[in-house]
């Protein structure tokens, strides 16, 4: 099932907006993570943890879920398909992995923000630049895959392509009635 050009453009716009929004929110999150991890001023560290929690809950998580949903819809409604091309499949797996880690980390960040407000000095808490920088690298990888679309069909893609060619050949060679 393929989408009409108007719906395809609408879904592509939604997917690009949410995907790039997710990427931008992560980029905004990283300096806060740096401050929470290395900051010397207890008030600034506390504010960083609270801001991280807000960005994760109200920007990163909703954008990640929306990007994943619109990406799946986009692939199912176009000739790219969800399982036909390796780049789509790798993008899907990386997005699912990043979203899963994000949802686990979102809970931890909420706990850290609550702890930062209850401690007189939150500088002793341990930040995790690994997750935010790692998440950024995964998102950049997915972005690159979606822009360059490297060649390579999966077994399912080869089978579908062979079936389509067979149907086209059958239509060309069948007598007109």
pLDDT of residue 163: 79
Distance CA 110, CA 101 (A): 14
Location of structure tokens 């992995």: 97
pLDDT category of residue 22 using cuts at 50, 70 and 90: very high
Res. 176: pLDDT tops 70: no
Residue 86 contacts residue 152 (beta carbons within 8 Å): yes
Residue 140 has pLDDT above 80, yes or no: yes
Given pLDDT bands bounded at 50, 70 and 90, which one contains residue 166?
confident
Q: What is the DSSP letter of 103?
A: H
Is the distance from CB of 19 to CB of 50 less than 8 angstroms?
no
Q: Is pLDDT above 80 for 19? A: yes
**32 neighbors 52 (Cβ within 8 angstroms):** yes
C-alpha–C-alpha distance, residues 108 and 110, integer Å: 5
Specify the pLDDT at position 59.
98
| Interior angle at CA 156, CA 152 and CA 161, nearest 5 | 75
Question: Binning pLDDT at 50, 70 and 90, where does residue 165 land?
Answer: confident
| Per-residue tokens: 112 | 């850290």
Q: What pTM, to 2 d.p., does this model score?
A: 0.87
Q: How far apart are CA 110 and CA 129, in angstroms?
A: 16
Q: Which of 9-23, 55-69, 70-84 has the lowest mean pLDDT?
A: 70-84
CB atoms near residue 172 (< 10 Å):
7
Judge whether 160 and 81 are in contact, CB under 8 Å. yes
pLDDT at 50: 97
Q: pLDDT-derived band of residue 65, with 50, 70 and 90 as boundaries?
A: very high
How sure is the predictor about 169, in pLDDT bands with cuts at 50, 70 and 90?
A: low
- Identify the pLDDT of residue 177: 56
- For range 154-173, the mean pLDDT: 77
């Amino acid at each position: 099932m393929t989408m009409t050009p108007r719906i395809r453009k609408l879904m592509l716009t939604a997917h690009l907006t949410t995907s790039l929004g997710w990427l931008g929110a992560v980029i905004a999150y990283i300096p806060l993570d740096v401050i929470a991890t290395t900051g010397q001023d207890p008030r600034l560290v506390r504010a960083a943890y609270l801001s991280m929690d807000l960005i994760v809950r109200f920007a990163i998580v909703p954008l990640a879920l929306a990007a994943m949903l619109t990406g799946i819809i986009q692939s199912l409604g176009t000739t790219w398909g969800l399982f036909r091309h390796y780049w789509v499949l790798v993008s899907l797996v990386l997005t699912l992995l990043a979203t899963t880690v994000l949802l686990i980390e979102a809970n931890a960040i909420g706990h850290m923000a609550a702890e930062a407000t209850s401690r007189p000095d939150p500088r002793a808490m341990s930040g995790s630049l690994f997750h935010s920088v790692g998440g950024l690298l995964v998102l950049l990888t997915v972005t690159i895959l979606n822009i360059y679309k490297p060649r390579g069909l999966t077994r399912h893609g080869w089978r579908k392509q062979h079936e389509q060619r067979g149907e086209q050949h059958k239509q060309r060679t069948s007598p007109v009635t």
